[in-house]
Amino acid sequence: MVINPELSVVVCVLNEEESIDLFLDTLTPILEQAVSSYEILFVNDGSTDKTFEILHQKAIAPDSHVRLINLSRNFGKDVALTAGLDNVKGQAVIPMDVDLQDPPELITEMVEKWRQGANSVVAVRSDRREDNFIKRKTAMAFYRLIGRISKVDIPQNAGDFRLIDQKVLEVVRKMPEKARFMKGLFAFPGFKTEYVYFHRPQRVAGETKWNYWKLWNFALDGILGFSTAPLRIWSYLGAGVAVIAFLYMAFTIFKTLVLGVEVPGYASLISLILFFSAINLIGIGILGEYIGRIFEEVKSRPLYVIEGIYDSHDQQAEASDKCA
């Protein structure tokens, strides 16, 4: 194991026993050609299958390039990725998925752009043909929305698969927020950024851990974490409703003075009450989302808990103990 390798690859895994061997068989030859030295840092995010056992054996093997961080339970992918970024040793870092939907072949091009002076090299999906209609449309709507309301330029159709150097990594490490929208955190530092484009293939093994509910919460974290626009919108909406209410009040007074008092309609009254009650509840809900995030931040609990870190030194230590 090289102490300060040229490149670190961070891979977060959750119940991926079927994908690990194929992933390493595909990735390792590419890394051997692309860089002078490397490490592959797996972060086991509370797997319940044989993922830990498989990775543990690979990590403690003599002269292994694999390191393993085993979290004490499932903390979620973005937090697991943070644990990996906090413990990498490489001069540059590439987070990627174990399912080979992030093509390892792009690493050579990413490293080349980094050597030419780029601080960050972002892999962008050139199309989303593999996604179903609903996912394509919702993803498009999300990226358009966050692109307009966020002050940070977050690339569209880009995931965590990218290369970042030590400058970017140090800034990311200084951002301790609990609700971690990693695409935004990676984009926040700025610096010189280059792009590579690819067509994302189907998963090679196992099943995705994402569903529509998780994707919704992921989008919500991104919007609320990188914009105060939802709060501002309700300020504008409140002002607009107040103007309409004032005009309606003036019209009612004028109508009463000119035409006399009419019996008010029950249906219109109930409709107005329900409408404004709904607006109030939605506004309170938006406030609650922000307040909930403030509550999580002020508790200052650790983002993650590490059960252990394993590499080839563990095997060497065990051999030394036996000799002693």
Q: Three-state SS string across the chain, please?
A: CCCCCCEEEEEEECCCCCCHHHHHHHHHHHHHHHCCCEEEEEEECCCCCCHHHHHHHHHHCCCCCEEEEEECCCCCHHHHHHHHHHHCCCCEEEECCCCCCCCCCHHHHHHHHHHCCCCEEEEEECCCCCCCHHHHHHHHHHHHHHHHHCCCCCCCCEEEEEEEEHHHHHHHHCCCCCCCCHHHHHHCCCCCEEEEEECCCCCCCCCCCCCHHHHHHHHHHHHHHCCCHHHHHHHHHHHHHHHHHHHHHHHHHHHHHHHCCCCCCHHHHHHHHHHHHHHHHHHHHHHHHHHHHHHHHHHCCCCCCEEEEECHHHHHHHHHHHHC
Amino acid letter at 255?
K
Per-residue pLDDT, 8 = 92
pLDDT at 234 over 60: yes
Cα–Cα distance between 127 and 108 in angstroms, integer?
21
With cut-offs at 50, 70 and 90, classify the pLDDT of residue 320: very low
Residue 317: which pLDDT band, with cuts at 50, 70 and 90?
Answer: very low
Tens-place pLDDT, residues 166-186: 998 999 888 888 777 777 788
> Which range (30-34, 132-136, 252-256, 310-314) has the least confidence?
132-136
Residue 93: the pLDDT is 92
Evaluate if residue 211 carries a pLDDT over 60. Answer: no
pLDDT of residue 169: 92
Poorest-pLDDT segment among 18-22, 147-151, 214-218: 214-218
Q: How far is CA 130 from CA 124, 189, 199, in A?
A: 14, 31, 9
pLDDT of residue 180: 79
The model's confidence at residue 30, banded by pLDDT at 50, 70 and 90, is: very high
Q: Encoding tokens for residue 72?
A: 């004490």
Q: Average pLDDT, whole number, for the chain?
A: 77
- The C-alpha atoms of residue 305 and residue 70 are separated, in whole angstroms, by 9
Distance CA 195, CA 185 (A): 17
pLDDT at 70 over 90: yes
Q: State the pairing for strand pair 92-95/7-13.
A: parallel
Q: Average the pLDDT over each of 169-173, 193-197, 203-207 and give the range with the smallest value.
A: 203-207
How far is Cα 199 from Cα 274, in angstroms, rounded to an integer? Answer: 48
Residue carrying the six token digits 């870092």: 93
pLDDT score, position 17:
85
Amino acid at 315: Q
Higher model confidence: residue 322 or residue 240?
240
Q: Which of 99-113, 244-258, 289-303 is predicted with the least confidence, judged by mean pLDDT?
A: 244-258
Show the CA angle centred on residue 121, arms to residues 82 and 14, nearest 5°. 35
- Highest mean predicted confidence (pLDDT) among 54-63, 135-144, 210-219: 54-63
More confidently predicted of 16 and 254? 16
Sheet holding 158-165, edge to edge: 193-198, 120-125, 158-165, 92-95, 7-13, 38-44, 66-71, 306-310
The average pLDDT across 179-203 equals 79
Q: What is the pLDDT of residue 44?
A: 93
Segment 78-116, tens digit of pLDDT: 888 989 999 998 889 999 888 888 889 889 999 999 999
Looking at residue 95, what is its pLDDT?
Answer: 92
